Structure 1
């Protein structure tokens, strides 16, 4: 049996307990023994991380110590999978460049109100196989990301007033990535429990978690 570790906490506005509980039954059904950690010091336990096949992180607006970051990034580099969504991945640990290099992206901005927008499946991948483009109404993230990300879903954002120009901007929504021997999965959707209950979002997120595992 493979082992999954859900690491959750940080800003309660992203409902870390409620959102991660949506995916615990699916992980169990997929054959994982699921454990929970609500303290970032779990990233100091190298032995535990090295026997973990998947870390699902939902921890927004946090800070990692140098030692915690090293423990996490080294475990993923050695083959532990890492996955999650929204601010729990790209809106946290923003001062730690080793962590940001591993995840391949950083949240910058979203309009204050929720928007309805289309998400386009961008590339063939097992995570999105058989899924069609879909529409969501939630926060639309403006992200920095790098070219090593394998972007498998995108949206289009309209730049806010302030000198950005009139054109539309293609923005990644879902990507995968390798960090050493480890696989990473990220989806920008997931501000609320309701966002993750959207049938297509829930399916691709579940698939992404399972795909990322060792």
Structure 2
């Protein structure tokens, strides 16, 4: 049986406890033995090197150097990493190796909760199979991203809330490698109820399965 670990905490506005419960259920249904932790201290545990998958849900907050170093080493060694929105893409702002591993870092969401479109750029990828472009209402994440990411979906900013980014095409979903490990990220899912949107649930479930060794 493959083993996964979900670590949740940090800023409560992203419903980390509810998201962790939902994602634990999805992984359990896929046959994973899921461990759930609520402290970054779990990342320092040598046992994480034996996991198949790690799912961080920990917006902002702090991570100790030894915790970040062990987490990054585990993924470089082959453990999968997958997550969504600020729980992975706006976690541990002062941990640059963590950001290098994730492939991006949140910097803004102009207009806060707005209507926008998600464009599928890789319909041939198994993670995106059968998913069409769709309309979405939530935070539209503006991120600093790694050009080495394999982008699966994007969104285009219209400049209504920040004129200088009009027409900017921003990655929303991507996958990448970090050493021997696979990394999957989806910028959607500001609140837990958004994870029940069929496209979001499908992408996250498939992305976690793709990342897991």
Short-chain TM bin: over 0.9
Which string of whole-angstrom CA distances, capped at 9 and with x for unpartnered residues, describes residues 153-193 of structure 1? 0010123666626x411011000010011001100001111
TM alignment of 1:80-159, pairs within 5 A: 80-123=79-122, 124-159=124-159
Aligned length: 212
Unaligned 5+ residue runs, structure 2? none
Which string of whole-angstrom CA distances, capped at 9 and with x for unpartnered residues, describes residues 17-56 of structure 1? 101211222211211001101111111112x111111001
TM-score (structure 1 length as normaliser): 0.95
Q: Distance in 2 between matches of 1:199 and 1:162?
A: 30
Q: Distance in 2 between matches of 1:157 and 1:70?
A: 35
- 2:164 counterpart SS class: coil
Q: Distance in 2 between matches of 1:151 and 1:80?
A: 21
Q: Is contact 2:110–2:162 with CA below 8 Å preserved after alignment?
A: no
TM-score (structure 2 length as normaliser): 0.95
Structure 2 residue aligned with 1:198: 197
Structure 2 residue aligned with 1:38: 38
What is the alpha-carbon root mean square deviation over aligned residues? 1.4
Unaligned 5+ residue runs, structure 1? none
How far 1:210 moved relative to its partner? 1.1
